[in-house]
Chain A
Amino acid sequence: MGNMANKISDETMEYVGILAKLELSAQEKEAAKSDMEKMLDYIDTLNELDTSGVEPMSHVFPVHNVFREDVVTNGDNQEQTLANAPLRKEARFEVPKTIG
């Protein structure tokens, strides 16, 4: 597996582009495909390691949900928040029509 070169189909690239919400030019697509194939070949070196019976470790310390009372502490930032909006309409963020 380690020395098998990865080949990614155009369909897979298309699908990953949808997941990533990125629109790549034809040239970018070719480069991205070749970059990703190289990275996956490299990542496949992990298969040299026997990890059977090893639990995946997402965090190094035990992480628990942290709960608190739902009390507002940060005041009203509406105007400052909306000031960052690329497009706003009164007290709302404006986006293109989403339902036909």
Chain B
Amino acid sequence: MELLDLTAVELGKKIKSGEASVAEAVKAALARAEAVEPEINSYVTLDGAGALAQAEEIQKKIDSGELTGPLAGVPAAVKDNICVKGQLTTCSSKILSNYIPTFTAEAVKNLQKAGAVLLGKTNMDEFAMGSTTETSYYGPTKNPHNLTHVPGGSSGGSCAGVAAQECFYALGSDTGGSIRQPGSFCGVVGLKPTYGTVSRYGLIAYGSSLDQIGPVAKDVADCAAILEAIASYDEKDSTSVQRKDYDFTSALTADVKGMKIGIPRDYMREGLDPEVAGAIWDAAKVLEQNGAVIEEFDLSLVKYAIPAYYVIASAEASSNLERFDGVKYGYRTADYEGLHTMYKKTRSEGFGAEVKRRIMLGSFVLSSGYYDAYYLKALRVKALIRQAFDRAFQSYDLILGPAAPTTAPELGKSLSDPMKMYLGDIYTISVNLAGLPGMAVPVGKDRKGLPIGMQLIGNSFQEKTLLRAAYTYECATEKQYEAPADARLSGREA
């Protein structure tokens, strides 16, 4: 078995036992990335020399017994909205095309403590605003399972990179589904933790009340190990939560006997692709056969999540993105007279169309005269959506449904109709509004060979319930990570 086919935890074991070296793992991932990047474009920055230097340091620490964790020596990639000291961090935007952070995000620091080798920074929708990774200033990422389709977004580079074996795992961020939807489209496991579980320090903010960093992995065991490594209370993030449990890998038991799982009828009706629906029902049956109790129920308010989200996320974005003004870092326009012209020209040239659209909308809904009617209204609807989930979790341990209404759309088909693209996030967005943990798990493929993902939604702080159900499904179906079969993806070496 070649190194690239291993999961992160499997590779970690081989490195620990001396069967593989950190440098070998890094070289394998780099060779793969160099071979497929011209087609896939998962990375904005691939730092081969830096990764090899880290490999040497980490190997020494493993050999001396200083690093003993399951991810020690395993090469990873980080979404390009998460700061790494000294490494270009662009948010896939022109306005940050030259930004070198002077500090490292807490989640990345935690990974470094666990012995991760950082290969580089992954492509994304500009400032995480988009569902296809096509709004990147650095060109779209392609779906490794079919290069004429998008990988989803906004963490499209992280998910495509893991799927194409250009790294062994990655960090993404999820504001309205940006880990779970591309995870589903690329056939990888992705998890958005309960709000406050992973520090947002060093994550360049989009919608601060919704943003969470989370793992993108080849399987459920990897996902649990990565979450265990990155989750921590951090006094530098005022919304960080001190949790009672951080031992997520302890949930990896194949046992769902008596677990009550609700399937929202409102998720399985019109608008859902029949092939996706079929795969979701099949997955539910697998859990039922293993002892879970499956019931349908009415979640309600589903259609209000997207409009509420666009008010809240755009409002927060308009405020968060004020800081990009061409003064202290990033792009500055070439010709200007006076400070205000400089701000306006810098921002107008530096931001792409989707980002400008959301800043405009956000500025509007926060402006006097509209604040109550739009912004406060959306926050009230958010409270109602949270209540609907609270009611559901009185009856169920977890909620099961699709991650997205369809499999990955073709490249170039989404951006012309933003409203249609927004509707693609219908099953994921309410989870962010309610602050809940959500997970995407691959459950099959459609006729075109494109992956289908189920979404598991848990009550606050119930990541372990999600992991246990997902792990049970994986064990029952003997599902292993499948590399994409696309013939054009050359470069695999023995």
> Which residues on A are within 8 Å of B, measured CB to CB?
12, 15-17, 19-24, 28, 32, 35-36, 38-40, 42-43, 45-49, 51, 54-61, 63, 65-66, 68, 74, 77, 80-81, 83-87, 93, 95-98
Contacts A17-B360, A61-B435, A63-B238 known; 19 new A-B pairs at CB < 8 A: A15-B367, A16-B367, A21-B340, A22-B348, A23-B345, A39-B361, A39-B419, A43-B374, A46-B311, A49-B304, A56-B379, A56-B383, A59-B209, A60-B434, A68-B235, A77-B103, A84-B330, A86-B327, A96-B342
> Which of A16, A17, A45, A98 is the most central at the interface, judged by chain B CB atoms within 10 Å of its CB?
A16
When distances are taken between beta carbons in the complex, the residues of chain B under 8 Å from A83 are: 100
- Across chains A and B, which 8 residue pairs bring their CB atoms closest together, nearest first? A60-B435, A56-B379, A86-B332, A84-B329, A51-B380, A57-B383, A19-B363, A23-B344
Please, how many angstroms separate the alpha-carbon atoms of A56 and B379 in the complex?
A: 5
Please, how many angstroms separate the alpha-carbon atoms of A16 and B367 in the complex?
A: 8
Please, how many angstroms separate the alpha-carbon atoms of A83 and B88 in the complex?
A: 13
Instruction: Determine if B303 is an interface residue (Cβ-Cβ < 8 Å).
Output: yes
Residue of A nearest to B312 (CB): A58
Residue contact B303 to A22, C-beta cutoff 8 Å: no
When distances are taken between beta carbons in the complex, the residues of chain B under 8 Å from A48 are: 304
CB of B199, distance to nearest CB on chain A (Å): 13
CB of A48, distance to nearest CB on chain B (Å): 8
Residue contact B348 to A24, C-beta cutoff 8 Å: yes
Total number of A-B contacts with CB less than 8 angstroms? Answer: 160
Residue contact A86 to B330, C-beta cutoff 8 Å: yes
Residue of B nearest to A85 (CB): B328
When distances are taken between beta carbons in the complex, the residues of chain A under 8 Å from B365 are: 43
Please, how many angstroms separate the alpha-carbon atoms of A83 and B376 in the complex?
A: 41
Residue contact B311 to A74, C-beta cutoff 8 Å: no
24 CB < 8 A contacts A-B? A12-B364, A15-B367, A16-B363, A19-B364, A21-B343, A22-B344, A36-B360, A39-B419, A42-B306, A42-B419, A45-B303, A45-B304, A51-B384, A57-B379, A57-B380, A57-B382, A58-B209, A61-B241, A63-B239, A81-B102, A84-B328, A93-B328, A95-B327, A95-B342
Contact stretch, chosen from B43-51, B114-122, B285-293, B318-326 = B318-326
Size class of the B contact interface (CB-based, 8 Å): 35 or more
Residue contact A97 to B338, C-beta cutoff 8 Å: yes
From B103, B327, B331, B359, contact of A22 by CB (8 A):
B359
CB of B204, distance to nearest CB on chain A (Å): 14
Instruction: Determine if B307 is an interface residue (Cβ-Cβ < 8 Å).
Output: yes
Residue contact B307 to A59, C-beta cutoff 8 Å: no
CB of A52, distance to nearest CB on chain B (Å): 9
Residue contact B344 to A42, C-beta cutoff 8 Å: no
Instruction: Determine if B347 is an interface residue (Cβ-Cβ < 8 Å).
Output: yes
Please, how many angstroms separate the alpha-carbon atoms of A61 and B241 in the complex?
A: 9
Residue contact B347 to A21, C-beta cutoff 8 Å: yes
When distances are taken between beta carbons in the complex, the residues of chain A under 8 Å from B331 are: 86
When distances are taken between beta carbons in the complex, the residues of chain A under 8 Å from B362 are: 20
Residue contact B348 to A23, C-beta cutoff 8 Å: yes
Given known A-B contacts A61-B241, A80-B102, A22 and B357 have beta carbons under 8 A apart? no
Residue contact B383 to A95, C-beta cutoff 8 Å: no
When distances are taken between beta carbons in the complex, the residues of chain B under 8 Å from A40 are: 374
0 or 1 for each of B336-360: is its CB under 8 Å from A? (1 = yes): 1111111111011001000011011
Residue contact B337 to A96, C-beta cutoff 8 Å: yes
Residue contact A87 to B239, C-beta cutoff 8 Å: no
Please, how many angstroms separate the alpha-carbon atoms of A68 and B235 in the complex?
A: 9
Instruction: Determine if B138 is an interface residue (Cβ-Cβ < 8 Å).
Output: no
Instruction: Determine if B206 is an interface residue (Cβ-Cβ < 8 Å).
Output: no
Please, how many angstroms separate the alpha-carbon atoms of A54 and B98 in the complex?
A: 45
Please, how many angstroms separate the alpha-carbon atoms of A63 and B209 in the complex?
A: 11
0 or 1 for each of B397-432: is its CB under 8 Å from A? (1 = yes): 000000000000000000000110000000000000
Instruction: Determine if B378 is an interface residue (Cβ-Cβ < 8 Å).
Output: yes
Please, how many angstroms separate the alpha-carbon atoms of A38 and B310 in the complex?
A: 12
Please, how many angstroms separate the alpha-carbon atoms of A49 and B380 in the complex?
A: 10
Please, how many angstroms separate the alpha-carbon atoms of A56 and B434 in the complex?
A: 13
Residue contact A42 to B435, C-beta cutoff 8 Å: no
Given known A-B contacts A16-B360, A35-B418, A46 and B102 have beta carbons under 8 A apart? no
CB of B96, distance to nearest CB on chain A (Å): 10
When distances are taken between beta carbons in the complex, the residues of chain B under 8 Å from A85 are: 327-329
Instruction: Determine if B471 is an interface residue (Cβ-Cβ < 8 Å).
Output: no
Residue of B nearest to A98 (CB): B339
Residue contact A39 to B328, C-beta cutoff 8 Å: no
From B235, B336, B384, contact of A49 by CB (8 A):
B384
Given known A-B contacts A22-B356, A32-B357, A49 and B381 have beta carbons under 8 A apart? yes
Instruction: Determine if B456 is an interface residue (Cβ-Cβ < 8 Å).
Output: no
Residue contact A36 to B238, C-beta cutoff 8 Å: no
Please, how many angstroms separate the alpha-carbon atoms of A60 and B359 in the complex?
A: 24
Residue of B nearest to A17 (CB): B360
Please, how many angstroms separate the alpha-carbon atoms of A85 and B359 in the complex?
A: 24
Instruction: Determine if B161 is an interface residue (Cβ-Cβ < 8 Å).
Output: no
Instruction: Determine if B169 is an interface residue (Cβ-Cβ < 8 Å).
Output: no
Please, how many angstroms separate the alpha-carbon atoms of A60 and B196 in the complex?
A: 10
Given known A-B contacts A56-B380, A57-B383, A84 and B99 have beta carbons under 8 A apart? yes
Please, how many angstroms separate the alpha-carbon atoms of A45 and B345 in the complex?
A: 35
